[in-house]
Amino acid sequence: MIAAMLNAPTVLQRCEDLARCTEEPGRITRRFATPALARARQLVAGWMRQAGLEPRLDAIGNLIGRREGSGPTLLLGSHLDTVRDGGRYDGALGVIVALAVAERVGQRDLPFALEIAAFADEEGARFGTAFLGSALLAGRVSARWLEHRDREGVRLADALDAWGGDSSALDAPPRRDLLGYLEVHIEQGPVLVEANMPVGVVDSIAGQMRAFVTFTGTAAHAGTTPMGSRRDALAAAAEWIGAVERVGRETAGLVATVGDVEVAPGAANVVPGSAVVSLDVRHADDGARNAAVQTLHALATAAAAARGVEIVWAQAHATASVPCDPRLTAQLAECARMVTGVEVPRVCSGAGHDAVMLGEVAPVGMLFVRCAGGISHHPAEAVTEEDVAVAIEVTASLVEELALERV
Amino acid sequence: MIAAMLNAPTVLQRCEDLARCTEEPGRITRRFATPALARARQLVAGWMRQAGLEPRLDAIGNLIGRREGSGPTLLLGSHLDTVRDGGRYDGALGVIVALAVAERVGQRDLPFALEIAAFADEEGARFGTAFLGSALLAGRVSARWLEHRDREGVRLADALDAWGGDSSALDAPPRRDLLGYLEVHIEQGPVLVEANMPVGVVDSIAGQMRAFVTFTGTAAHAGTTPMGSRRDALAAAAEWIGAVERVGRETAGLVATVGDVEVAPGAANVVPGSAVVSLDVRHADDGARNAAVQTLHALATAAAAARGVEIVWAQAHATASVPCDPRLTAQLAECARMVTGVEVPRVCSGAGHDAVMLGEVAPVGMLFVRCAGGISHHPAEAVTEEDVAVAIEVTASLVEELALERV
């Protein structure tokens, strides 16, 4: 029924081939500026040539394959790096589906050049950077990042130069020739599984705020300190962790998470003197997110004050929500409706993606593919051939649609 | 006004001298079967001789000084070991006050023998044992304990034998000659500070239950997993930590503490998959304690079930409440009233003491001394000369009273 069914098994096989490019035998670990990533890049470069694209490396080590055409450039792609002990599909799937799309549109003349990007660093798993690869195309590589060091103490700039990149050429101007950027990515969440849909169209990438809140009370003997004489840092923190969950549930579209708590002294027979609590808050609407954060700040203060506990609120970072391009997104949704026969879900991406950076210089559109159990960043990541076939078909349809409207 | 005022400065000076017997320069650390504890024991042995007591070592390394007398034996004392980085007074004060009492009653004939015990291990800071020193007198040394190993892998029995003890002689019968056991100890809590009283009489030593409760949900991406799709182990644990505090506050005489939480994976951007939570519950009344524990078990189950989370409840240990001897306790309270001119507080000890073991073989009485800020197990432990003088006076009065009633 869907012609691209023929391609989906090859896409999955190629993701499998990439999984064997790893820093750690038995796991999938492919971080920035490593030999494992270079091997993966080499495989993809070969596939690019097969698809009629001319591969090149840029200064940060992104692999970009280009097929010339008249007019501006349509960019498709995703990233090739992974987290430590990650999965086969986060990033890689988007690159390989883009290649399948390029093969699908074949050698016929398009009213735009076609490029496929395999970004060298999206996860930041080695140097703690955010979207380093795609940042180069947006002219947003921070000079500070060059000084970041990995766990072994290696400087980012030195690792890059030793790996064939050029740390002196990272201040290139942003790309201004892009007609648009399209990215296919596994959802990394359960929404499509729960909706029983193969793909979903991304409306926006959520803005997020990360903070660490330190509750400080007084450590005391658990046996000899009456309840009324305590300044229990963890009890205050626990009330607030409950509030984070409640505010998350009560605010439509919000996700609010406490992922970690560090208790000190951290002994069963000692009333906690301090608790450091992480907070991660995301929403498609920055105003709604900021309002939720303000509410949570007030609730932390109140939970602490009720116990004579003090808090210090340290915001680690905050990024604004990135809307996908309304027109591209509507076209993507229409293509998905044509291919699947139903309206597919419109979702807000709670995870960040290279589209955040490309959104600075081009209209962006993103298609999510259902992934088993919503699992990502884990060896158990899985997708089905059928869903991948749908993703290829939808993306190829959109490319053809974009070609038609420019003729 | 109080004659023992003369002795209190010497008591404090001796605690200071003992503090210099330490495994770690700059800290007070004096654990079982260490050269530091042997040096402290040697100092105390000298002071025993000065007070007219004949010192001896038993098989576990307790130092016991004896002055013969007709009839049974009245035992006074406490322990000489400390936790790592502990204070000057926890344990040591009780031993040195007992010496001051022995000097006070002088060389006159008493209708009982007088012994002072300086126990070798109450804290269990090296081998995780409970009241090891006093357990020997109660015939309660467990053969299992001999196989315990310290952090360096040294076996308890080997450490003891190398230190001059005798691991083959720990199954001695319990002491059956004891008229009673009296122990002076810092309170380790804020009750006397808050009541503005120098000393308090211990009614009982609380029973306690320790458990570790594991909440298991599903780790998930904090950005992409909607609130309604989560099985957040920490959110369930946090609701329960709040319940522990609430039940503790609402139940008279109960202390209930969560001292530690270990979250996994423990990353700010991951919904927690598991949380291991410690629980410590103490009460003078075992029935009240057991009822509270049952309530808390039900609340943990409910907090977990509400989120599709599972719990495993692992009880680490439970000990029954130990009542002090009603008659000795009443006499101690009367002596305290005579010395201070007011009714002193009757308290339940939330911490365990050697009196727990001695309670198996003798009537026990305990006197608490106010300590600054309720702080213990910390270099900041402090007592005042005035309060120590009261403790000496009260204890000496009781010894004289016991002598009078036997004549």
What are B72-112's pLDDT values in tens digits?
999 999 999 999 899 999 999 999 999 999 999 877 789 99
| pLDDT band at residue A334 under the 50/70/90 scheme | very high
| Per-residue pLDDT at B33 exceeds 50 | yes
| Per-residue pLDDT at A107 exceeds 90 | no
Identify whether A345 is preceded by a cis peptide bond (ω within 30 of 0): no
| Per-residue pLDDT at B203 exceeds 90 | yes
Helices (H) and strands (E) in chain A, counts: 11, 16
| Per-residue pLDDT at B252 exceeds 80 | yes
To 10 degrees, the CA torsion angle through A156, A159, A163, A168? 50
Nearest to A48 by CA among A1, A112, A95, A110: A95
Which of B18-22, B231-235, B374-378 is least confident?
A: B374-378
HEC-encoded secondary structure of chain B: CCHHHHCHHHHHHHHHHHHCCCCCCCCCCCCCCCHHHHHHHHHHHHHHHHCCCEEEECCCCCEEEEECCCCCEEEEEEECCCCCCCCCCCCHHHHHHHHHHHHHHCCCCCCCEEEEEEECCCCCCCCCCCCHHHHHHCCCCCHHHHHCECCCCCEHHHHHHHCCCCHHHCCCCCCCCEEEEEEEEECCCCHHHHHCCCEEEEEEECEEEEEEEEEECECEECCCCCHHHCECHHHHHHHHHHHHHHHHHHCCCCEEECCCEEEECCCCCEECCEEEEEEEEEECCHHHHHHHHHHHHHHHHHHHHCCCCEEEEEEEEEECCEECCHHHHHHHHHHHHHHHCCCCCEEEECCCCCHHHHCCCCCEEEEEECCHHHCCCCCCCCCCHHHHHHHHHHHHHHHHHHHHHHC
| Per-residue pLDDT at B1 exceeds 80 | no
Which of A72-76, A117-121, A154-158, B150-154 is least confident?
A: B150-154
Rounded to two decimals, the pTM is: 0.86
| pLDDT band at residue A6 under the 50/70/90 scheme | low
Percentage of chain A lying above the pLDDT 90 cut: 89
pLDDT value, residue A319: 87
Question: Looking at chain B, which residue has its C-alpha nearest residue A248?
Answer: B227
Q: How far apart (Å, rounded) are the C-alpha atoms in residues B275 and A260?
A: 10
Which of chain A's residues have a Cβ under 8 Å away from the Cβ of B376? 221, 224
Cβ-nearest to A222 among B191, B238, B257: B257
Q: Which amino acid is at A292?
A: A
Cβ of A266 within 8 Å of Cβ of B255? The answer is: no
Contact B383, B89 (CB under 8 A): yes
Percentage of chain B lying above the pLDDT 90 cut: 89
| Per-residue pLDDT at A266 exceeds 60 | yes
Average pLDDT score over residue span B122-141? 93
Which of chain B's residues have a Cβ under 8 Å away from the Cβ of A188? 221, 223-224
Alpha carbon of B35: minimum distance to chain A alpha carbons (Å)? 27
| pLDDT band at residue B4 under the 50/70/90 scheme | very low
| Per-residue pLDDT at B282 exceeds 90 | yes
| pLDDT band at residue B42 under the 50/70/90 scheme | very high
Average pLDDT score over residue span A65-74? 94
| Per-residue pLDDT at A70 exceeds 90 | no
Percentage of chain A lying above the pLDDT 70 cut: 99
- Which residue of A83, A186, A224 is the best one to mutate when testing the B interface, meaning the one whose CB has the most B CBs within 10 A? A224
Q: How far apart (Å, rounded) are the C-alpha atoms in residues A121 and A141?
A: 12
pLDDT value, residue B6: 52
CB contacts < 8 Å between A and B, how many? 213
Which of chain B's residues have a Cβ under 8 Å away from the Cβ of A237? 238
Structure tokens at A272: 């906690």
| Per-residue pLDDT at A5 exceeds 60 | no
Which of chain B's residues have a Cβ under 8 Å away from the Cβ of A225? 189-190, 255, 350, 374
Average pLDDT score over residue span B124-132? 90
pLDDT value, residue B105: 87
Percentage of chain B lying above the pLDDT 70 cut: 99
Cβ of A255 within 8 Å of Cβ of B228? The answer is: no
B326-361 tens-digit pLDDT: 999 999 999 999 999 999 999 999 999 999 999 999
